[in-house]
Structure 1
Amino acid sequence: MEIELVAGDITDQHVDAVVNAANSGLLGGGGVDGAIHARGGGEILAACRELRATTYPKGLPTGQAVATIGGELPARWVIHAVGPVYSARQDRSSLLVAAYRNSLRVADELAARQVAFPAISAGAYGWPLDDAARIALATVGGAETSVELVRFVLFSPATMHAFRLASRRPTG
């Protein structure tokens, strides 16, 4: 698998699927979630409402992922992944790992070969950037998947810097 780090807007990515750093309600929010819903149009929201009415009436659990159509996005699908809110008192890193792994599992189910990821949980959910980058790159880099290209689309210079540093560190 090839891993790319790019600065930019995830809603502009011409890939098979973009990953949405969603909240459990699946009905939009701020940050990446709000941008994807705004640019993707009402079809994404309608698909999310259907998921809430049927499969996930209590919301999508943290660490899980589910796909909808991409609506008006250049990507065919949106994979909604719920990352954990950071806590200094409780280790929730396994839930962040699960959000990435389950996103790739859903991508495989869709036969998606190119997937764009944001830095899940590194925005409003407060995950420290250096740790978020380390977890993201180690998890995706070590995953068994048919995805051929993972593009981390990083909106802020600070996030890009954290991912660049983490990509240079040995994993182990």
Structure 2
Amino acid sequence: MPTLTAVLGDITTQQVDAIVNAANNAMRGGGGVDGAIHRAGGPKILQDCIARFPHGLVTGDAGWTTGGDLPARWVVHTVGPNWNAGQRDRELLVSCYRCSLEVADALGARSIAFPLISAGVYGWPREDAIRVAVDTILDTPTKVSDARIIAFDESAFPQVRAAIDAWT
């Protein structure tokens, strides 16, 4: 089980082996976390997305690209369910975290930083998004030893920290 930490900050500045991108199905960049990662990582990430995922990814799946200009070596892209569009199967969100950890293991990553997948513009209820993140990261067998949930929003940070503290 990895050590799980809540961090208030910007996922693009994390000194970890891999950061997780809350991507869209097309895998061509977007807004929110996705846009921030593509902007900070530069064009190499998009070029790698086009080469590796010519048809995108299905919701709940994950894959990786270079980290480009980011401090992280890799970006693990995962497509979260869009609550606002009616994708409310909780198992899809669980799959995002589980598949991301599987990809990290395949890469040999020992440290990883996650955003709160689907909790932004996709509208997944924040409390449940936090529960899914914490429970899945801590319940999934992995070789990752350092996992972080990055709260970009100051109001989310104490909620994430409390959920981790309650688990441990």
**TM-score, with structure 2 as normaliser:** 0.94
Counting only pairs closer than 5 Å after superposition, residues 39-118 of structure 1 correspond to structure 2 as 39-53=40-54, 57=55, 59-86=56-83, 91-118=88-115
8 Å CA contact retained: 2:6, 2:164: no
* Identical columns (%): 51
The residue identity in structure 2 corresponding to 1:16 is D
- State which of 118, 121, 124 in structure 1 corresponds to 2:118: 121
Deviates further, 149-158 or 72-81: 149-158
Name the SS for the 1:153 alignment partner. strand
In the alignment of these two chains, the number of paired residues is 167
CA distance in 1, matches of 2:105, 2:37: 21
Alignment of 1:20 with 2:7, yes or no, is no
The residue identity in structure 2 corresponding to 1:52 is F
CA distance in 1, matches of 2:52, 2:82: 22
8 Å CA contact retained: 2:76, 2:104: yes
Alignment of 1:152 with 2:149, yes or no, is yes
Q: Which runs of 4+ in 1 moved over 3 A?
A: 87-91, 168-171
Structure 2 gap segments, 5+ residues each: none
8 Å CA contact retained: 2:81, 2:88: no
Deviates further, 151-160 or 2-11: 151-160
Q: What is the CA RMSD across the aligned residues, in angstroms?
A: 1.6
Name the SS for the 2:7 alignment partner. strand
Structure 1 gap segments, 5+ residues each: none
